[in-house]
Structure 1
Amino acid sequence: MATKKTAITKDKIVSMYMDYVLEHSEKPKSVYHFTKMNDFTETEFYAFFGTLESIEKEIFKMFVEKTTELLAKNADYETYDMRSKMLSFYFTFFEILTANRSYVMLVLKEQSNQLKKLMQLSGLRNSFKNYLTEIISDDFRTQQEKLQNFQEKAFQETSWIQLLLTLKFWMEDSSPAFEKTDIYIEKSVKATFELMNIAPIDSLIDFGKFIFKEKIYNK
């Protein structure tokens, strides 16, 4: 009796795509080629994705979703203030990236076109901004009423740029266990939240010294 074929799911397609990229050090040439190599049909593929590029966007989105799932399992997480939640997000997110570092490095380093790279990260951007909306506290909103010019959207955009800069730092980090990225995260998040409180000088100077040291002495 013939073996029953395992049903194709979105997660399985994502897993097969990542395996293909890692094993061949390149992206599949076409949907036809990718599905044929993995013994399923184009019809099954298009039930979940419109293009191969949409898989790439989904992968980075799934990294954020996995991060928030893990954070939700921590009973103490909901008691954290915004800054602590952000730090928890960063450390968990970059642990997940580290577990998938070979894939992340391959797909981002090969993309020299910055616009295309940002398009590839659009799923990450949207999911991250949704996360930021969830952690914004009433205290933060009250504070921003006083600051007037610093609105929630500005916080989201600033945080997104910060995440991209941290991602770039992590990709260039060669320290054991990426310990310098951990330091970068702590200093950059601290500087961001102190900037929102209009008390930035010490943290910004400390963060600036750290970046200067890394760029000058570790070339």
Structure 2
Amino acid sequence: MATKKKIITRDDIVSIYMNDVLEAGKRPASVFHFVKGKDFTEAEFYAFFGTLESLEKEIFRLFFVNTIDLLNKNTDYLEYDMKNKMLSFYFTFFEILTANRSYVLQTLKADLNPIKNLVQLTSLREAFKEYVAEILTDDYRLEQERFQKFQEKTIQESAWLQLMLTLKFWMSDASAGFEKTDIFIEKSVNASFELMNVAPMNHLLDFGKFLFKEKIYSR
């Protein structure tokens, strides 16, 4: 009796690709080279991914998705304020990266041009920015609505930059258990939320609004 062929899944391809990259010490030259000798075809690969590059982007996005899934399983997390949600995200995200450290280091250092390596993070970037917008609370939102959209984009981009700086620190961290990264996360997140204190900015905008009205109506 013929053995029924296993149906390949998206997760299967991701796992096989990561393992191949680690064992070969480099990326496959093409989809053809990647599927050669495997139990699935190019056609089956293309059912999930258009290119190897899109697969690489998906891997880093999945690190993010798995982080959010783990966070949402913790009922306490849903009650956290924005700062503690962000801290929880960082610690969980870097635990997942640590579990896949060999792959992350190899792929983010694969090309001499760092910009080409960072292209893999574009899907992660969009997902992370959406997450930041979702957890943004009124405590960190300006009162004047016309400035809120600009403020939200600024916070998203600043948060992404902070995540990239933390990633760079973690990649160079040689401390046991990456304890220095944990310290970096706590101090950097605390500092960033201090800078996000909108009370002084709201007062400044109110003062500016007052001066503008005085100038208009005093004519």
Category of TM-score, reference length = shorter chain: 0.7 to 0.9
Whole-Å separation in 2 of the counterparts to 1:17 and 1:53: 12
**Counterpart check, 1:117 vs 2:117:** yes
Give the drift of 1:39. 2.3
SS of equivalent residue, structure 1 residue 84: helix
* Partner in structure 1 of residue 135 of structure 2: 135
Deviation track 1:64-123 (CA, whole Å, cap 9, x = no partner) reads 000000000001111101000000000000000000000001101122212212211101
* Partner in structure 1 of residue 156 of structure 2: 156
* Higher alpha-carbon deviation: 45-54 or 33-42: 33-42
Q: Is the 8 A contact 2:87 2:185 kept in 1?
A: yes
User: Which consecutive aligned stretches of 4+ in structure 1 deviate over 6 angstroms post-superposition?
Assistant: 146-150
**Counterpart check, 1:181 vs 2:181:** yes
Larger Rg: 2
Structure 1 length-normalised TM: 0.86
Q: Is the 8 A contact 1:21 1:27 kept in 2?
A: yes
* Partner in structure 2 of residue 11 of structure 1: 11
How many aligned positions are there?
A: 200
Structure 2 length-normalised TM: 0.86
Unaligned runs of 5+ residues in structure 1 are 200-219
- Paired letter, 2:168: K
Whole-Å separation in 1 of the counterparts to 2:12 and 2:191: 40
* Partner in structure 2 of residue 2 of structure 1: 2
Whole-Å separation in 1 of the counterparts to 2:56 and 2:11: 12
* Higher alpha-carbon deviation: 114-123 or 89-98: 114-123
SS of equivalent residue, structure 1 residue 191: helix
How many percent identity over aligned positions? 65
Aligned alpha-carbon RMSD (Å)? 2.0
Give the drift of 1:191. 0.6
* Higher alpha-carbon deviation: 103-112 or 175-184: 103-112
Unaligned runs of 5+ residues in structure 2 are 200-219
Whole-Å separation in 2 of the counterparts to 1:150 and 1:175: 39
